Amino acid sequence: MKQVATSAATPTYVRYWHSAQAWAKENAVSLYALTLAIILGLLAIAPRMVIEVPAGSVGVMWKRFAGGTVTEEVMLEGTHFIFPWDESTLYDTRLRSFTREYEAVAANGLAIKVEVALRYRVNPEAAGLLHKLAGREYLETLIQPEIASLLYKFVSKHTPENFYSVKRDEIQDFLEEQAKIDFPIGNDKDTTGNPLNMPMIHIDEVLVSNVTLPLTVRQAIERKAEQEQIMQEYDFRIAREEKEKDRKRIEAEGIRQFQDIVARTITPEYLRLRGIEATQSFATSSNAKTIIIGGRDGLPVILNTGDEAKPAERSPPAAGEAKPN
């Protein structure tokens, strides 16, 4: 190594500096290679050290040398730096949905197909616990089995006929209410030993989009419903006839009362006056007519109300005389 000339009065740090410069010049190629290797190494491990959490998501940390999955906190939206030997998993916390058809057994043993649509989202605070207990496949391991269990519980208490009378809203309300109460809740403990009792999944809405009954049961229920409608129609007809009977009875009573009143007020003089008025109307009418006058008081024969208007009794025919037809 080439020595750098220095005087005894030169400070120690200056002598070290000159020595370092001389060593760097002699080993410049090695230093450049080492720097390049460090840069390439950093570029290679940068994806494992720099974590970007997108909008609507959280990150869960798994520390290789510090206890594994972190359940007490999560990484929020933004950029985070971690050690390259640690790992992170992203969970979407936005509202999601899925639709699935379940086949359940009713109270009488018949199978019923029910299509359920579920809207749910991951609880951001419990994402670490969800990752520890279920992982990214939480839909298949937690949500779908729980919804199926609640649906089987409801269907097993009803017969297929009830699904024609039970409103679909009642099924939805039951599933939604029970899912919010009985849905899996984490029972892990934090670093201080306190239980982390929090729902890992929030259920927002449960929709029953379709209920399919066996063909024979559906046909039998439809026939029964048709007969019930016919019976209701007959009941309506009977009620209508009862009303009609009351109407006719009231009408007959009114006619009878009218006749009783009129019978006491009509006299022969009144009838004679009305006959005269009718005769005058006949005489002034422009229609062609034939009026036979000859009744009592000069009235037409058809308006005569006296005894003379009665037809004379026929005398029996004489011997040998033909009988009138």
User: Is 171 domain-assigned?
Assistant: yes
Task: Verify that 12 and 116 share a domain, yes or no.
Answer: no
pLDDT top residue among 163 and 223: 223
What are φ and ψ of residue 251, in 5° steps? -65, -40
**Residue 61, Cβ neighbours under 10 Å: how many?**
22
Q: What is the pLDDT of residue 291?
A: 63
Q: What is the pLDDT of residue 3?
A: 47
Number of domains in the chain: 3
Name which of 240, 263, 244 is nearest 252 in CA terms: 244
Residue 325 — pLDDT band, cuts 50, 70, 90?
very low
> What's the domain range around 23?
1-47
DSSP 300: B
> What is the percentage of the chain residues whose pLDDT exceeds 70?
78
Task: Verify that 35 and 106 share a domain, yes or no.
Answer: no
User: Is 120 domain-assigned?
Assistant: yes
- Give per-residue pLDDT as tens, 297-324: 556 655 555 544 444 455 555 555 555 4
**How many angstroms separate the CA atoms of 303 and 274, rounded?**
9
Residue 4 — pLDDT band, cuts 50, 70, 90?
very low
User: Is 145 domain-assigned?
Assistant: yes
Distances (CA, A) of 257 to 243, 253, 264, 287: 21, 6, 11, 37
User: Is 106 domain-assigned?
Assistant: yes
pLDDT higher than 90, residue 58: yes
Q: What is the pLDDT of residue 90?
A: 93
In a 13 Å sphere around the CA of 266, the CA atoms on its Cβ side amount to 10
- Give per-residue pLDDT as tens, 74-117: 999 988 888 888 888 999 999 999 899 988 888 888 888 888 88
The arithmetic mean of pLDDT across residues 40-50, rounded, is 74
User: Is 235 domain-assigned?
Assistant: no
User: Is 83 domain-assigned?
Assistant: no
Tokens of 287: 């229609």
Task: Verify that 105 and 207 share a domain, yes or no.
Answer: yes
User: Is 198 domain-assigned?
Assistant: yes
Residue 296 — pLDDT band, cuts 50, 70, 90?
low
Task: Verify that 190 and 272 share a domain, yes or no.
Answer: no
User: Is 105 domain-assigned?
Assistant: yes
Which residues are CB-neighbours of 60 under 8 A, at least 6 positions away?
Answer: 69, 70, 74, 75, 88, 89, 90, 91, 127, 128, 131
Q: What is the CATH number of the domain that holds 206?
A: 3.30.479.30
